[in-house]
Amino acid sequence: MSTPVTAARLPGWVHPAARREALRRRAVTVPALWLALVGFTAALVVLVPAAAVVDLVRRVASRRRPVAVRLVLVGWAYLLAEAAGLVALAAIWLTAGRPGPARERRLLERTYVVQGWWARSLFRAVTAAFGLRWSVSGAEEVAPGPVVVLMRHASIVDTLVPSVFVAAPHTLRLRYVLKRELLRDPCLDVAGNRLPNCFVDRGGERSAEEVARVRALAEGLGPRDGVLIYPEGTRFSGDRLARVLRRMRQGDPARAERFAALRWVLPPRRGGTLALLDAAPEADVVVCAHHGLDGLARIGDVWGGSLVGRRIEVSFRRIPRVQVPAGPDRVEWLDEVWQALDQWVADRVSPARG
């Protein structure tokens, strides 16, 4: 059985200063969301026809696939999902009962439900708007927990994959290691800090403290639990890969040489991933690979129209814990796992281009 997660373990509740910071942040982001939703909804009568004209002109002038209307509708769906999520989270808070362990259990379980609904709603909206076709293999290997999920990160869309293909089908309660910038999203902020997640400062100077917080996230994992991390730390791009390898050659030339052949992933950051493995010695590892979402790091990347009608392939591979080495050998093992992931993507890029 998994150890119950209580509010005392949640980052935003442990430190009064962090809670005050959250309240100040939400005093800006929550009203801004409602204003954006009201303004966007009122403007739809103008935005949709205008976007349709833009699509027509683009189609005639350059034969590009229409995306303007799709982006408008997805943007509206995002705002609706955010608003509905905040209402649901507020209702859960108000109806969870008297303070105590029972209230905290209800808050956690119901917040997991809202989090899953939010992610699946956005996933369906993006899939429907752009006509995406999904192919998933190895999903049966995800459960049961405890598991440490290592996720490739190449797109603004792949952040929805874990909730849809990992958490929901297997009723796994995923704990996430996320970048701190996502706290600007009010729904993620409220739900993410109510649940056992860790928002890390990727560019901060307190790396040891951040790793310790990530390590604590993996404590008490049970058959229904998993913790997910993006080992690359940020979305892949060719420019980022070149910069990372350039810095690595200065500090760790042997490891840089090992990664010299990478083309489709960034070298994994070791601190957080190894900390999770150390803190969860009974957890198997699940590697999530995907192909078809590359080149979509920002909304502007979607403008070219290449996302429309794409076939997205997602693959899961479970690595039993007995196959994960301990000690210094674990660093080389992680590098080999990521090199294999790069090769998996490369094998699918070449036929697609051919």
Percent of the chain's residues with pLDDT above 90: 59
Cα–Cα distance for residue pair 145/224, rounded to 1 Å: 5
Q: Which residue intervals of the chain are DSSP H helices?
A: 11-14, 16-62, 68-95, 101-130, 161, 168-170, 186-194, 207-217, 238-251, 253-258, 270-279, 299-302, 329-353
- Please report where in the chains the tokens 């796994």 appear, as a residue: 172
Higher pLDDT, 262 or 10: 262
The terminus-to-terminus CA distance of the chain in angstroms comes to: 50
Cα–Cα distance for residue pair 292/209, rounded to 1 Å: 35
User: Is pLDDT above 60 for 292?
Assistant: yes
Which residues, listed in sequence order, are joined to residue 200 by a DSSP beta bridge? Answer: 179
Q: Which amino acid is at 90?
A: A
pTM: 0.86
Higher pLDDT, 46 or 10: 46
pLDDT score recorded for residue 51: 95
Task: Summarize pLDDT for 114-162 with one digit per residue, the tens.
Answer: 999 999 999 999 999 999 999 999 988 898 889 999 999 988 888 889 9
Find, among 262, 286, 281, the residue nearest to 340 by Cα. Answer: 262
- Please report where in the chains the tokens 């005639």 appear, as a residue: 60
Percent of the chain's residues with pLDDT above 70: 91
Q: Taking the mean position of all CA atoms in its chain, how far away is CA 335?
A: 21
User: Could you check whether the bond before residue 66 is cis, i.e. omega within 30 degrees of 0?
Assistant: no
Cα–Cα distance for residue pair 40/243, rounded to 1 Å: 38
- Inter-residue contact 144 to 293 (CB < 8 Å): no
pLDDT score recorded for residue 135: 94
Find, among 216, 215, 9, 218, the residue nearest to 108 by Cα. Answer: 9
Task: Summarize pLDDT for 197-230 with one digit per residue, the tens.
Answer: 999 886 655 577 888 888 899 988 999 999 999 9
Task: Summarize pLDDT for 300-351 with one digit per residue, the tens.
Answer: 777 878 888 899 999 999 999 999 998 888 989 999 999 999 999 999 886 6
User: Is pLDDT above 90 for 170?
Assistant: no
User: Is pLDDT above 80 for 9?
Assistant: no
